[in-house]
Chains A and B, each alone.
Chain A
Amino acid sequence: MAAIKQAGRVDTDEGGMGYLQSLPRRVVTIYLPLLVFMIVLLFPFYWMTVTAIKPNAEMTDYVNYNPFWVVHPTLQHIRYLLFETSYPGWLLNTLIISTAATFLSLLAAVLAAYAIERLRFSGARQVGLAVFLAYLVPPSILFIPLSLMVFNLGLYDTPFALILTYPTFLIPFCTWLLMGYFRSIPFELEECALIDGASRLQILTKIVLPLSVPGLISAGIFAFTLSWNEFIYALTFIQSSEKKTVPVGVLTELVRSDVYEWGALMAGALIGSLPVVILYSFFVEHYVSSMTGAVKE
């Protein structure tokens, strides 16, 4: 009993031999570099926020105002963005496209991952490898032929152009992630269900899926985030201003001539980032563990 406790203590002792280091040494080797990392990683967000609520008079007047601070915060840029541009429409477009692409990809990925991992049909290993390789094909080399296909299929400038092409990078990723997740579910559960006369589809929907809800959530978040952030397809396949997604809209519509509306641009960038940040902050533990899990597998 004592030995088990001992082992448990060692396992949870994440700090390891950290106590051997003196405090001044820790300050120099750990806290100081960490502080610098945090400042560098977070500064662009701070700068976006400050710019988004800064009145134009202060924006470029570095002599009378300290640029790092806002003296008279204003919501004028955000109001301009929400009421005088197509920004709300872009948000809605991005939301619809990302949700549709995510569901489509999850559906296909769940079936594929289950087939590869559990049905073990002949050639399952090769198919698994092919899915992994498909993940490594970057959009940068596909967008030209895809744009031709999208045009010939009559999908150009419609949301379907994106909903149908986003799964090309979402399905491989989700399948890969879910394969790792399904692998952790004991075979015995499925065998019991098979003996009880359940079909494969019943096993999938009534046993495997309820057990892999955390995996589904992380795959869903990943897929949603990747579609929300996608740029090159959205830039190439969509032309009308009101059909654009947030990243493309902000870049191509808010930047006009020589006058940069920095306040509105930053507000647009910030608001466009919020949904994924909120989504991710709710599920950060899933996110981190599955991202690292997917890499470990």
Chain B
Amino acid sequence: MGKHDILPQDDSVDEPKVSIKNLYKIFGDDPEAQMDAVRSGMGKPELMDQTGHALGLNNINLDIPARKIQVIMGLSGSGKSTLIRHLNRLIEPTAGEIWVDGEDVLAMDDKQLRDLRRFKMSMVFQKFGLLPHRTVLDNAKYGLEIQGVSDKEADERAVKWLERVGLAGFEDQYPSQLSGGQQQRVGLARALATDAEILLMDEAFSALDPLIRTDMQSILLELQEELHKTIIFITHDLDEALNIGDNIAILRDGEIIQSGDPQDIVMNPADDYITDFIRDINRAKVVRVRSIVKKGATGAGVTIKGTLSLEQALPKLHAAPDGCCPVVDKNGKPLGAVTLDGLIDALKAPESDGDDDVRYA
């Protein structure tokens, strides 16, 4: 049985785990014929009007680092579910490249592709995708069964993972007897049991109600602290993206419009679309102190860590005599200082450049 807490080997190498290059997907009768037009800049609505083809993905370039949670976020119709299905080729691209661990996924034959899906990538689905005629245990070991793992070992591993996601004792039930949250735990256990390094999560928590959703996010983060998998997580929920993402890529009309770490997106939204997006988030919880630090400054208050959220830092700043606290990074190195005013300033949602009256008229 594999140990799951072994630290990955090549921590130093910056080689991305998954690399997507110039990826295009056009839906329609003759997608290849539209490639020239799309390459020369034709957008989604024009392509639809002129040729009746739908532009699913438009020149996607994304490097996904190993052992991090990469969130791909967008509203419905933005192409995010299409994108994730390209990684294990549930959908074939019209043009472009997909590399996983330096291997060209599009060059794989059926057998290699099956092995990729069996051993390297596992997937969690929005609608769970559980097999209704199998018990919870048999569902959790489905991937192992297909890998050809012996029945006994598969049972042991499946039981272990069901336990890890908090479903001990449910082994003999059928999916229809479980709640949505429990069903998705089965889906998660099934995906984790295969020991695949890459976990694809397609709106995995979107069908759950908000409390259970946060619950599942914590489970995922807890597991990730130990497992260090490369997780590609699709969501339409910005709070969720900010909560779990190490990196976030925002997709609109099949194009990535901003990609970076969550702080970056919140503090420096690339355009009005994203500004609108982040307008309603709880900035006190999301923005970290390190994002608003004034370099070189210092203060009379207690020293605080840059990873604290503004909400957590507020009482300390308030207590400081001059309303100013020195900030250090997670290793204790001084970063500068924050002021109470600076903090309050950061709580204001950014204004979009466009004229609101016009845009919403």
A binds B: no
| Residues of chain A whose beta carbon lies under 8 Å from any beta carbon of chain B | none
| Residues of chain B whose beta carbon lies under 8 Å from any beta carbon of chain A | none
